[in-house]
A = this chain, B = another copy of it.
Amino acid sequence: MEERGNPVYRVSEFAEKAGVTVRTLHHYDRLGLLKPSGRTEGGYRLYGEGDFARLQQIVTLKFIGLPLRQIKDLLDRGDLDLAATLRLQRRLLLEKRLQVEAAIQAIEEAERSLKSSRKPDLAALKKIIEVMERQNAMEWTKKYYSEEAQTRIAERARAWTPELQARVEQDWKTLIGEVEAAIAGKIDPASAQARALAQRWSELVRGFTGGDAGIQQGLNKLYADQGNWPSSFTKPFSDEAWQYIKQAMAAHKISCA
């Protein structure tokens, strides 16, 4: 059959050994991605150990999401930098993960909405739309952040829980309420009371930036460009509150935002 301990397999054997289907091997053969190292005179495909190694690599690269064309290029003309390919692919996968996570969140929110309010469907779909719009807004804000800042934001987002989100939202609502009250009460932005508000504000912002200077910078750019915001994206506080806090921060030399 074979010599020197170099076994030869027919398609179905080879397919099982490698954990793929026969059709897949046919496909790869036609694409020129993996040609069997031999054929019988009758035309049967014959695969050897070398083919197995190559198939391993193919499956591996497929696992990380590379298209077959690119795999072929990588394996045939080994020049195309693997490191660069990996970097790019990692970015794409991080993207995809965000998308999937957004979809999961949307579903979970919709399910909560379905459970509580018994008006079916309509409300649930609206919840999903809300999450989508948040996502779109996020997507849109990305252009204000540098590449690394985006990466770090994504990292920080991984550690976010719904509870944390809820608490932060509550904190903001409370603080904004107090700021509005201070404005209504004509509290001097230079006063100690305003200073306390500004400091809490600064804390909440730091909760988002995580103290990262790059994220901070992107955030500043984002808020400096409010004129170009899409209508679906609004900040949770009024312009007056924003002005007031800026004054208070200036008066007390509190940094950021």
Contact = CB atoms under 8 A, between A and B. Distances in A.
B124 A86 contact: yes
A76 to B, nearest CB: 13
Interface in A69-127: 78, 82-83, 86-87, 89-90, 93-94, 96-97, 100-104, 106-108, 110-111, 114, 120-121, 124-125
Nearest to A129: B60
Contact of A93 (B78, B89, B103): B103
A239 to B, nearest CB: 27
- Summarize A's interface: helix, strand, loop or mixed: helix
A128 B93 contact: no
A192 interface: no
A94 B90 contact: no
A54 to B, nearest CB: 11
Contacts of A59: 132
B97 A114 contact: no
Interface string A113-150: 01000001100110011001001000000000000000
Nearest to A106: B64
A65 B103 contact: yes
B86 A110 contact: yes
Interface size class of A (residues with CB under 8 A): 35 or more
A129 B56 contact: yes
A21 B33 CA distance: 35
Contacts of A82: 114, 120-121, 124
B132 A63 contact: yes
Given A82-B124, A86-B114, A121-B78, A103 B64 contact: yes
A120 B86 CA distance: 13
Contact of A128 (B60, B107, B108, B128): B60
B57 A125 contact: yes
Interface in A27-67: 56-57, 59-61, 63-65
12 contacts: A56-B129, A60-B125, A60-B128, A64-B107, A64-B128, A82-B114, A83-B120, A86-B107, A86-B124, A89-B107, A93-B100, A93-B107
